[in-house]
Amino acid sequence: MTLVPVDIITGFLGSGKTTLIKHVLEKGLHGQRVAVIVNDLGDINVDGPVLRGMNVDKMVELSSGCICCSGLYRLGAGIQEIVESARPTLILIETSGAAAPAPVVAQLDELGYRTDAVTTVVDAETFFRMEKAEPVIAEQVAEADFLVMNKLDLVEAAILEKLRKTLSRLNPRAHRIETTFGAVASDLLFATGVRVFRERARLSPEGPDLHQDKIDSFVFETEERMNRDRLERCLAKLPDMIYLVKGFVRFSDETQPFLLNFTCGRYHLLPFIGTNDFHHTTQMVFVGRRTGECRQEILEALARCNAGEPSRSGSILGRLGFG
């Protein structure tokens, strides 16, 4: 199984997916080997040429059909070409506007690739006009880890507030980002950005703010083996202000480490076959908003997930709902 993270960028026609990717490639992810799969409906691929020549090591264009319903072969062949020829550190898949993310995630799972996160771009100007006519829009919103509310300069305050409430109802789990012209920071949306958070968290144990919107981070590390059941209960009960958790975990009943990926409440643990810098330790980086408010409680709760700890619920666990 490849450990190259795959991020899916979805959203209805004209929402601004290509603009968002273009911004990210221009302003962020420097030093990373980024590969992009672009899927346009129709015989002429428009988005691919827009992204060519940017910070992209490999571009694969899948036109004349939607990858959510075109089967595993085309998607698998495209990713295989990318991995073999470019050896990327991150793969971005821009779906067509008609694609729901869930089938693409399922295809990636079947092919042995892990989906790091699903980002859905929402057109704030046309959302309410198009939502009822195109049911796929609600699916795209419901299946997102991150919701990018785009084109805010084109809507009035009352419409914006209504949109916030609607998106929260359709997907209370996702983290919402509000912007114009797809101008979002890459650190939070894409897996490679976690390296930045890990480095800065290590420089300051207090986890300094990294952005004006109070996105910060902290690290948990232990040489003790973890109890998997307790850890999974903790992950399932993390507060909403925690958006990402990534790292390597050593369990008491497993010989190899596991790779942990948690994104806005959705998480998975995959056996890790390969080399990493933390052969004998568990290390996780937590990224979120104002994490200083819950940092100490989470660290103490995680300490109680050690295999050698008695199975009991202390006050810290109770306050976080970990019991």
* Residue range 134-168, pLDDT digits in tens: 899 999 999 999 999 999 999 999 999 999 999 99
Which pLDDT value is given to residue 268? 84
| 3-state helix/strand/coil string of 203-271 | HCCCCCCCCCCCEEEEEEEECCCECHHHHHHHHHCCCCCEEEEEEEECECCCCCCEEEEEECCEEEEEE
3-state secondary structure at position 111: helix
Which whole-number Å values give the CA distances from 171 to 167, 185, 265, 289, in the listed order? 6, 22, 11, 18
| Nearest-angstrom CA–CA distance, 306 and 204 | 25
- Parts of the chain with a pLDDT under 50: 1, 41-58, 63-70, 207-212, 278, 313-317, 319, 321-323
Which pLDDT value is given to residue 238? 93
pTM confidence score: 0.71
| Residue partners of 152: CB distance under 8 A and separation at least 6 | 124, 160, 178, 179, 180
Instruction: Delineate the domains of the chain, giving CATH numbers in brackets.
Output: 6-189 (3.40.50.300), 192-320 (3.30.1220.10)
Tokens 């109802």, residue located: 169
Which pLDDT value is given to residue 199? 58
Give the tokens for residue 176: 């919402």
